[in-house]
Amino acid sequence: MQDNGSGEAVTPFSKYVDHEKMFNVVKSSPQAASPSTVTKIISLPASQTKRSLKGYLREKLFAANHDIRSVLFKTLVRRIGCNASMFGEDMFMEFVAEHFSDRLSGAPMLPNFVDQSEGLPVYYLNQDGQLELKKILACIGFHFPHITYCPILPVVVSLFLHYDDNSCQVFVHTCRLMFSNSKQIHYMDQTKTESDASSLVLKELCLRYTSTSHKSLLNLTSDPDGVYTYWIKCLFHYLPFTFIVVLFDMYLLEGYKALYRVSLAILKLYRKVGVSDPTNIVNAVFDFVKSLDSTVSVQTLFRKAFSFKFPPSKDIKKMHRKFQSPFKQAQLPQGDVVHCRNPWDYVSLVKDVKSNIVNDTLLSTLYCWLPETVALNSPVLLFSTDANGYSLQTFFTSVEYHEPTLLLVKTTSDEVIGAYLSSPWHERLKGGFFGTGETFIFSLLPEEKVYRWCQLKYSSRLSSSCEHSPRVGRKRDKGLPPVKPPVESLQVGRTVTLPPINLATSQAAVPSPRTPDPVILPPLVGSAITTQPQVKQLAPKADMFIMANDSGIMIGGGGNYGIFIDRELRRGTSSCCTTFNNQPLINGEAFTCACVEVFSFDCEIV
């Protein structure tokens, strides 16, 4: 045993581990870390970039019983930026003191996000360790009710407890993953919707990077989606512990991207040596993974996993968000306010916000409509016409690279409307519409209304959702290899298809620039131009989310704009549009801006 330089002991395992059982698993004496290695690990956050750290860990692949693990996990998780105001060690200590001060207290009641039918992933925790695991999960469920489905959360707590004697610290480290504000890395699904989206991302990556593995599953069963649905369980409930610990290293560094890599490597191995004709494909894969250490070594599996040339983490996270959109929005009616959450839960987040448009009450209400992970962060004012003036160029410069953002408009009639914009504004430079299905428009005054993307086809089956995956954006994800598009039933030779609108109103919607009073709308595109006149005009598309250029800001398209603000940021309109199938947000459609503000949801990285 040695000190890690910060007052913590460097030991193979914590006091919460059954050391006798563990020795039978690792089948070797603990590997001691040299002082220089300990020092190197402790100094990693300050001295090494993520790329060099990733290369270092891939080269070393420290064993499960290596002394360095008690330092490594703590070091990696402390690198993760998060909203630290949401949690603290005192939160766990107070919870334990209140609920478990009596030694006769019963076992903690596990929260709903724990699937008790599967059993907790206790691995090699002793009785004390299993009790601490349940206490931490109960505390998380008590303080953070927004977490409704999270298969990886019990795994994270259990693995931390294997290498950390301080359960308060384990609680804090777990919360760092829960409240990560990384724009690049996805660490934890916290709802069933997010979990389903991750399963679809895995299937999409499998189709793109190891399609033979997916075809192999199709040859074995007509419904391979169970393998994708239970992929987290496959990794963390059935992989040998010596593999899981190394995988957790990579997860703390790369998030779900590391889990996708290893999952695809397992599917490739299963295709080669798995059961040829199982009656239950999911159990067959599970059985194969259980005995994986008899087939390949840790080094072989991770070498295969690292060989996949995945796109950057931010693109995978963006893909995950796109897959979420149909699941999320289909559960919300159009044009109605649904307080799925309590506005009082957000008062502390918005109380210090300085806005000339909304107060704490209105902003707390608005927070109930935001995606749950976004609503964990305080809003930050990026632009205000009162402070920054009525310049469209200043507007773009202020908001350019922030994602997501919240646009608020107060009219001279004291109406308050706006939009939640899920994509960064710099995507406007590509031309045309951009954005994702998470975009929505709303009214706060004189009445509360929210209109979300109207073309949502919810399906509980992963197969149908993935075969028709939501290509919400105008552009394909960068870094992803092209997928051959399906053959369309309608083919036109040299057709130029532009977003159409009602031809009867298109000319009327563009008054002369010399007329001072009406709002000057940018020209809307007419019917499709085609060399085959017998082809019928195509219906307006419903994925026209955001467009911004020198003409102004347009949100929602098809027929008219849901919200339009002119280039001077002074006048605008709100009309019915195909994208959101909305009614005008204000009376009379046209309005004059008293103030325009834009907020981001960036948090201080600690």
> In the block, which residue shows the tokens 């690292």?
306
Helical residues (DSSP H) of 163-280, grouped into ranges: 167-178, 192-209, 211-220, 225-229, 231-233, 241-254, 256-273
Asked if residue 241 is part of any domain, the answer here is yes
Q: In the prediction, which pLDDT does 498 show?
A: 35
Q: In the prediction, which pLDDT does 24 show?
A: 80
Highest mean pLDDT, choosing among 6-20, 95-109, 162-176, 536-550: 162-176
Long-range contacts of 230-234 (CB under 8 A, 24+ apart): 230/282, 230/286, 231/198, 231/199, 231/202, 231/259, 231/263, 232/151, 232/152, 232/155, 232/195, 232/198, 232/259, 233/118, 233/151, 233/286, 234/263, 234/266, 234/285, 234/286, 234/289
| Of the listed ranges 220-229, 264-273, 549-558, the one predicted with least confidence | 220-229
Q: In the prediction, which pLDDT does 63 show?
A: 87
Query: What are the Cα distances from residue 80, in Å, to 45, 178, 255?
Result: 10, 10, 10
**Tokens read off for 71:** 């330092």
| Three-state DSSP class for residue 463 | helix
Determine the Cα–Cα distance for residues 198 and 456; give it in Å rounded to an integer.
Answer: 19
Mean pLDDT over residues 258-275, rounded? 89
User: How many domains are contained in the chain?
Assistant: 3
Contact, 363 vs 420, CB < 8 A?
Answer: no
Q: In the prediction, which pLDDT does 353 show?
A: 86
Q: In the prediction, which pLDDT does 381 show?
A: 94
307-336 confidence digits (pLDDT tens): 999 999 888 988 888 888 665 554 444 454
Is residue 263 scored above 90 in pLDDT?
yes
**Cis preceding linkage at 111, omega within 30:** no
Is residue 605 scored above 50 in pLDDT?
no
Let me know whether 343 and 313 are in one domain.
no
Is residue 222 scored above 50 in pLDDT?
yes
**Tokens read off for 325:** 């959109």
Show which of 125, 158, 181 is a domain's final residue.
181
Asked if residue 543 is part of any domain, the answer here is yes
Let me know whether 242 and 368 are in one domain.
no
Residues 85, 87, 91, 92, Cα dihedral to 10°: -160
What's the pTM value of the predicted model, to 2 decimals?
Answer: 0.60
Asked if residue 130 is part of any domain, the answer here is yes
Show which of 328, 360, 395 is a domain's final residue.
328
Let me know whether 163 and 204 are in one domain.
no
Highest mean pLDDT, choosing among 210-224, 346-360, 458-472: 346-360
Q: In the prediction, which pLDDT does 549 show?
A: 92
Q: In the prediction, which pLDDT does 463 show?
A: 36
Asked if residue 472 is part of any domain, the answer here is no
Show which of 138, 159, 181 is a domain's final residue.
181
Highest mean pLDDT, choosing among 85-89, 237-241, 468-472, 531-535: 237-241
Let me know whether 314 and 400 are in one domain.
no
| Three-state DSSP class for residue 217 | helix
Q: In the prediction, which pLDDT does 432 show?
A: 87
Residues 6+ apart with CB under 8 A from 137: 108, 110, 111, 114, 153, 154, 157
- Other CB atoms within 10 Å distance of the CB of residue 525: 15
58-108 confidence digits (pLDDT tens): 888 888 888 787 788 888 898 898 888 889 999 999 999 988 876 656 678
User: Does 521 or 436 have the greater pLDDT score?
Assistant: 436
Let me know whether 196 and 170 are in one domain.
no
**Tokens read off for 137:** 């999960």
Total length of the chain: 606
537-578 confidence digits (pLDDT tens): 334 455 789 999 999 999 998 878 999 999 999 999 999 998
Q: In the prediction, which pLDDT does 115 show?
A: 81
Asked if residue 455 is part of any domain, the answer here is yes
**Tokens read off for 41:** 């690990």
Element (H, E) at 563: strand 563-566
Let me know whether 172 and 198 are in one domain.
no
Q: In the prediction, which pLDDT does 48 show?
A: 59
Is residue 475 scored above 50 in pLDDT?
no
476-513 confidence digits (pLDDT tens): 344 444 433 333 333 333 333 333 433 333 333 334 34
Let me know whether 127 and 224 are in one domain.
no
Let me know whether 26 and 160 are in one domain.
yes
Helical residues (DSSP H) of 278-408, grouped into ranges: 281-290, 298-306, 313-329, 347-350, 360-367, 385-388, 392-399
| Three-state DSSP class for residue 99 | helix
Q: In the prediction, which pLDDT does 352 show?
A: 82
Which pLDDT band, with edges at 50, 70 and 90, does 41 fall under?
A: low
Q: In the prediction, which pLDDT does 408 show?
A: 97
Determine the Cα–Cα distance for residues 275 and 298; give it in Å rounded to an integer.
Answer: 21
Let me know whether 154 and 229 are in one domain.
no
Is residue 185 scored above 50 in pLDDT?
yes
Q: In the prediction, which pLDDT does 443 show?
A: 94
Mean pLDDT over residues 376-387, rounded? 92
Is residue 121 scored above 60 in pLDDT?
yes
Instruction: Provide the CATH number for the domain around residue 207.
Output: 1.10.472.80
User: Does 371 or 596 have the greater pLDDT score?
Assistant: 596
Per-chain mean pLDDT for the chain: 78
| Three-state DSSP class for residue 46 | helix
Q: In the prediction, which pLDDT does 44 show?
A: 55
Determine the Cα–Cα distance for residues 221 and 201; give it in Å rounded to an integer.
Answer: 20
Let me know whether 557 and 429 are in one domain.
yes
Asked if residue 480 is part of any domain, the answer here is no
Show the CA angle centred on residue 71, arms to residues 67 and 72, nearest 5°.
Answer: 95
Closest CA to 326 of 477, 149, 457, 194: 457
Let me know whether 79 and 195 are in one domain.
no
Which pLDDT band, with edges at 50, 70 and 90, does 47 fall under?
A: low
Determine the Cα–Cα distance for residues 254 and 261; give it in Å rounded to an integer.
Answer: 10
Question: DSSP letters along 253-280, please?
Answer: HHTHHHHHHHHHHHHHHHHHHS-SS-SS
Let me know whether 267 and 287 are in one domain.
yes
State which residues form the domain around 139: 1-181
Asked if residue 227 is part of any domain, the answer here is yes
Contact, 108 vs 136, CB < 8 A?
Answer: no
User: Does 456 or 308 have the greater pLDDT score?
Assistant: 308
Determine the Cα–Cα distance for residues 137 and 604; give it in Å rounded to an integer.
Answer: 26
Mean pLDDT over residues 273-281, rounded? 71
First to last CA, the chain: 30
Asked if residue 485 is part of any domain, the answer here is no
Contact, 2 vs 10, CB < 8 A?
Answer: yes
Q: In the prediction, which pLDDT does 1 show?
A: 42
